[in-house]
A and B are shown apart, each in its own frame.
Chain A
Amino acid sequence: MRYNVFSLIKNTLSGHKNWEPAWRQPEPKKEYDIVIAGGGGHGLATAYYLAKEHGLRNIAVLEKGWLGSGNIGRNTTIIRSNYMLPGNNPFYEWSMKLWENLEQDFNFNAMVSQRGVLNLCHTDAQRDAFARRGNAMRIDGVDAELLDREAVREMYPFFDYDNARFPIKGGLLQRRGGTVRHDAVAWGFARGADSRGVDIIQHCEVKGINVENGKVAGVDTNKGFIKCKKLGLATAGNSSETAKMAGMRLPMESHVLQAFVSEGLKPYIDGVVTFGAGHFYVSQSDKGGLVFGGDIDGYNSYARRGNLPMVEHVIEAGVAMIPSLARVRVLRSWGGIMDMSMDGSPIIDKTHIQGLYLNAGWCYGGFKATPASGWCFAYTIARDEPHKLNAAYRLDRFRTGHMIDEKGQGATPNLH
């Protein structure tokens, strides 16, 4: 059933009792052409584009928890394509273009809101770096505007412009950036995939990967053995664990990232703003809560919860940027497990095992990439070769020296 004004009126008149479930709850079949491990945003998007763009139908998505229980429902909902390096920008810009048409495409209200993403700068050197990044973005056809201090002040008069240590000197604005209702992205992709025949199997955990003669043969799960010709791993923070099942060691570490939401406030911050002198980013949800986050805690973790020192650190950065935040009460904080790669960039590639594909290493930038990641991973799986948009996201780039290191930090996953 398509969602539109007529179906809404019809269901309103019948008291909203006849809405159909948005996806089925199938039991796994014995065999699929393609199995995707991981029913998060990237896994569901991959299944959706495999069905929609490549006409494939015999696909299962295996999710160990419930749909959307991982990072797709834990992030701070920001979308942007303000990268600098070749390899990154065309990919993220493609993601932005997919976001712009996503709701019409999968017939689901994901509340895509292009409210603008503003990065603040606090020194002359940082402004120069922003000008350079803005120029790199424009060369790739991405919108970027360098704002001076007064232009930023006009947008957000309540920031601390004369902070003794970190005065605000200006900012780099991408107006097409913004926020998206994160859960709705999972639900929209799930519904779109399900309606095209994809089986989404929840509470089905991959326990082992069966490889015969260098070729994927199937997966062991808590619901039995499932045979498959191709297997795509989209397991985010658990990527190292799933790759181990196929005898692979990955260039990544798992780290915990915390996020926060405040009590509901009246309209206060209408875009997304990031602090440039520490790690802090904030936007306001449609319910009124300020959604914000900062850095990862800094030590290896699979715990999905962080420690208090980072809570304090994030809120200190927030208050340095917006002094009035000091009076806002925090409602909740939570954590998600990030697949921190060795250069801060992701991997979408084939592996040395025939029929095994890897989508991992998103660090904490995976949400904005969801549509393009699914789109490119679907292409890579369907054609058995990477698309030119994800050609740079190779697994072997660390061996060959073709890292994509936006921050220039080197092989230090906890600093990316």
Chain B
Amino acid sequence: MLIPCPHCGTRPVEEFTFLGDAAPTRPTTNDPSSMEAWYEYVYLRNNPRGTIDEYAHHSGGCRAWLVVQRNTETHEVYGAVTARAFASRKEAVAKGEQA
């Protein structure tokens, strides 16, 4: 797999460390009533067969956290953005849903 790092260009997969699915959103409160949301965030995964957005740390390169979009069935890589860009996009989508 070759990953298009937004900072370093196309780099081989062994330079990256994966953290897993980027879909779960960390709850913003420690309130005991949010325990179910915490449980889902920490433990439950969609584990998709197909497209996944996955956290990857470019540990052997620029050391930036990225989100790589990839197909879990074919290993085709569709693209990569910085984790910051991914988070802003996710936040915008969440706000759009609320509005």
Contact = CB atoms under 8 A, between A and B. Distances in A.
Interface string A266-305: 0000000000000000000000000000000011111101
A241 B49 contact: yes
B13 A253 contact: no
B49 A302 contact: yes
A240 B20 contact: no
A291 B1 CA distance: 26
A399 interface: yes
B72 A301 contact: yes
Contact of A411 (B18, B42, B56): B42
A367 B47 CA distance: 22
A307 interface: yes
Main secondary structure of the interface of B (DSSP, over half): mixed
Nearest to B52: A300
A303 B45 contact: no
Interface stretch (A25-33, A94-102, A181-189, A244-252): A244-252
A36 B24 CA distance: 31
B1 A254 contact: no
Contacts of B10: none
A300 B43 contact: no
Interface in A353-405: 398-399
A266 B43 CA distance: 47
B94 interface: no
Contacts of B47: 240-241, 250, 252-254, 300
Contact of A251 (B14, B44, B52): B44
Is the interface on chain A under 10, 10 to 19, 20 to 34, or 35 or more residues?
20 to 34
Contacts of B45: 240, 249-253, 413
Interface string B43-76: 1111111001010100000000000001011110
Contact of A250 (B44, B73, B74): B44
Contacts of A253: 20-21, 45, 47
A412 B43 CA distance: 9
A250 B49 CA distance: 14
Interface in A229-259: 238, 240-241, 249-254
Contacts of B43: 251, 342, 398-399, 411
30 contacts: A240-B47, A241-B47, A249-B40, A251-B43, A251-B45, A252-B45, A253-B21, A253-B45, A253-B47, A254-B47, A254-B49, A299-B13, A300-B21, A300-B48, A300-B54, A300-B72, A302-B72, A302-B73, A303-B72, A303-B73, A303-B74, A305-B75, A307-B13, A309-B13, A309-B14, A398-B42, A399-B39, A412-B19, A412-B20, A413-B20
